[in-house]
């Protein structure tokens, strides 16, 4: 069994859960001062180890396979123009794309680009990107099989065309490559933002079949004293740290009579760039386990560009966290750099016991920002913020097209305020609208719901906005504050009640 581990950074969720626990505790502490019933204090459960899954070759995964309250979810993928990609995993530091003979990584660089003039205050700049592809040597076509379906669903509501949206996607804690080589399976698992890969060798399997190469690395070497495999990736500008992929010296063993018997193993870096293992003496009639660990030295802890922005708790104690996550496009070439991709809004719902119930990604082709959140008595969430996307998914909204502006450039992007209400399960949009004028910069920073379900938003604008019954109906120049009220049960222009 060969294991690799890749750090993708899940600390954002852990930090937000800590905040939710604190908020819940404070609400409980002040319960006597409040008339409405308060949600109970939330406790984050510690998951028990997953039940070992039997391999197709007859080799079982170790019972000590790592688990976490936030396992990395392997989600069925539909990548335009890339039919071989069957699954993807979206860590808060990057994206991974799984095909039968390869795994493609889109990963953040240690540095980020300079903030733009119109970047919302407190929001991160778009990161740079480096790409890498792990390609298995050989001609076989393994079967990819998802393992251990997890609670919760993922909804992808990005883009203006509902036909491209993907709803109710299951997430799995593992992904098995069955028959990667004769007698050899591969299992991927994820935990705490890391990716762990495990090769399972059945009795009689030939370890020398295991060969792979990293496409996109500029240098590959085995450190002679530690046995660590080091790969230098294409990095950022001169003077910044070079990203390094470090694969620790492998450990191998066999189970003999209930005892773990070590087997000598080391990396074998072939002249043609392929990587494999050289093993000492072992019993070929028993399963063989090989276990190195893979980590990114400059990526540990995530890129720092993904973050939580706002939290809400409903009367039942469910917690809602919104923020932004950088979504990378599928890399068609390896070793490339750039910033292909954009910030998406992410909404995640947790039960009172910390179980992830669903996650929804929302946005268009450009950057989208969530600034505030509210939830009604039915569990329907309202998000407000801003978008730079002309293909924002607008549904039944007051304004269904991007207002844009003049003088928009890469460093000075145009954006409109947005308001969106989702269904209780996060799989559909009940209402979604732009709110923008002819200038370049509008953003909604606050939201509240009244007793009738109307949505009240507040923000700032650099141009005249539509007015209806407002106190001040003229644009006063520079940056004005605005307040608007919407009825999400009404479609089109009639949904604006006050501005």
pLDDT in tens, 171-212: 999 999 999 999 999 988 876 556 777 888 999 999 999 999
Residue 354 — pLDDT band, cuts 50, 70, 90? confident
Confidence of residue 442 (pLDDT cuts 50, 70, 90): confident
The predicted pLDDT at position 103 comes to 92
What number is the average pLDDT over the span 336-361? 78
The arithmetic mean of pLDDT across residues 90-119, rounded, is 70
Burial class (CB in 10 A: 0-12, 13-18, 19+), 359: buried
First to last CA, the chain: 63
What digits encode the pLDDT tens for the residues 148-168? 998 889 888 888 888 888 899
Which is higher by pLDDT, 480 or 263? 263
Q: Is the pLDDT of residue 52 over 50?
A: no
- Residues 247-259, mean pLDDT to the nearest whole number: 87
Residue 207: per-residue pLDDT: 94
Domain ranges of the chain: 3-296, 307-498
pLDDT at 182: 95
pLDDT of 39 over the 70 cut: no
Is residue 235 pLDDT above 70, yes or no?
no
């Amino acid at each position: 069994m060969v294991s690799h581990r890749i750090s993708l950074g899940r600390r954002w969720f852990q930090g937000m859960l800590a905040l939710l626990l604190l908020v819940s505790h404070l609400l409980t502490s002040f319960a006597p001062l409040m008339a409405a019933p308060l949600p109970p204090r939330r406790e984050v459960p510690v998951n028990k180890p997953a039940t070992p899954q039997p391999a197709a070759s007859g080799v079982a995964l170790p019972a000590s396979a790592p688990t976490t309250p936030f396992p990395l979810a392997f989600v069925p993928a539909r990548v335009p123009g890339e039919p071989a990609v069957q699954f993807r995993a979206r860590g808060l530091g990057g994206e991974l794309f799984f095909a039968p003979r390869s795994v493609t990584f889109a990963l953040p660089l240690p540095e980020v680009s300079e903030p733009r003039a119109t970047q919302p205050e407190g929001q991160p700049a778009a990161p740079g990107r480096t790409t890498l592809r792990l390609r298995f040597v050989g001609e076989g076509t393994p079967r990819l099989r998802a393992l251990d379906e997890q609670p919760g669903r993922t909804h992808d509501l990005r883009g203006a065309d509902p036909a491209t949206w993907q709803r109710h996607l299951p997430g799995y804690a593992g992904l098995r490559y069955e028959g990667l080589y004769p007698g050899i399976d591969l299992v991927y698992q994820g935990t705490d933002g890391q990716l762990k890969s495990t090769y399972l060798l059945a009795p009689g399997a030939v370890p020398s079949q295991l060969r792979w190469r990293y496409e996109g690395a500029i240098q590959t070497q085995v450190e002679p004293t530690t046995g660590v495999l080091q790969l230098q990736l294409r990095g950022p500008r001169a003077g910044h740290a070079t990203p390094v992929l470090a694969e620790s010296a492998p450990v191998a063993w066999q189970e003999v009579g209930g005892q773990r018997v070590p087997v000598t193993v080391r990396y074998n870096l072939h002249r043609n760039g392929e990587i494999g293992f050289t093993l000492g003496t072992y019993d070929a009639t028993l399963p063989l386990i090989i276990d190195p660990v893979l980590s990114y030295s400059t990526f540990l802890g995530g890129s720092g560009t993904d973050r939580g922005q706002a939290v809400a708790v409903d009367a039942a104690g469910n917690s809602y966290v919104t923020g932004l996550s950088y979504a990378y496009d599928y890399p068609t070439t390896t070793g490339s750099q750039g910033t292909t991709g954009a910030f998406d809004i992410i909404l995640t719902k947790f039960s009172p016991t910390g179980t992830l119930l669903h996650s929804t990604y929302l946005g268009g082709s450009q950057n989208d920002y969530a600034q505030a959140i509210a939830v009604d008595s039915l569990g329907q969430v309202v998000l407000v913020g801003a978008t730079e996307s002309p293909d924002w998914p607008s549904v039944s909204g007051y304004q269904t097209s991007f207002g844009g502006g003049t003088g928009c450039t890469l460093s000075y992007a145009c954006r409109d305020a947005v308001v969106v209400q989702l269904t209780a399960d996060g799989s559909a949009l009940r209402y979604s609208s732009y709110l923008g004028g002819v200038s370049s910069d509008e953003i909604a920073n606050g939201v509240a719901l009244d007793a009738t379900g109307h949505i009240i938003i507040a923000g700032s604008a650099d141009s005249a906005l539509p007015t209806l019954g407002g106190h001040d109906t003229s644009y006063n120049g520079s940056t004005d504050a605005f307040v608007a009220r919407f009825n999400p049960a009404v479609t089109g222009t009639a949904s604006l009640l006050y501005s």
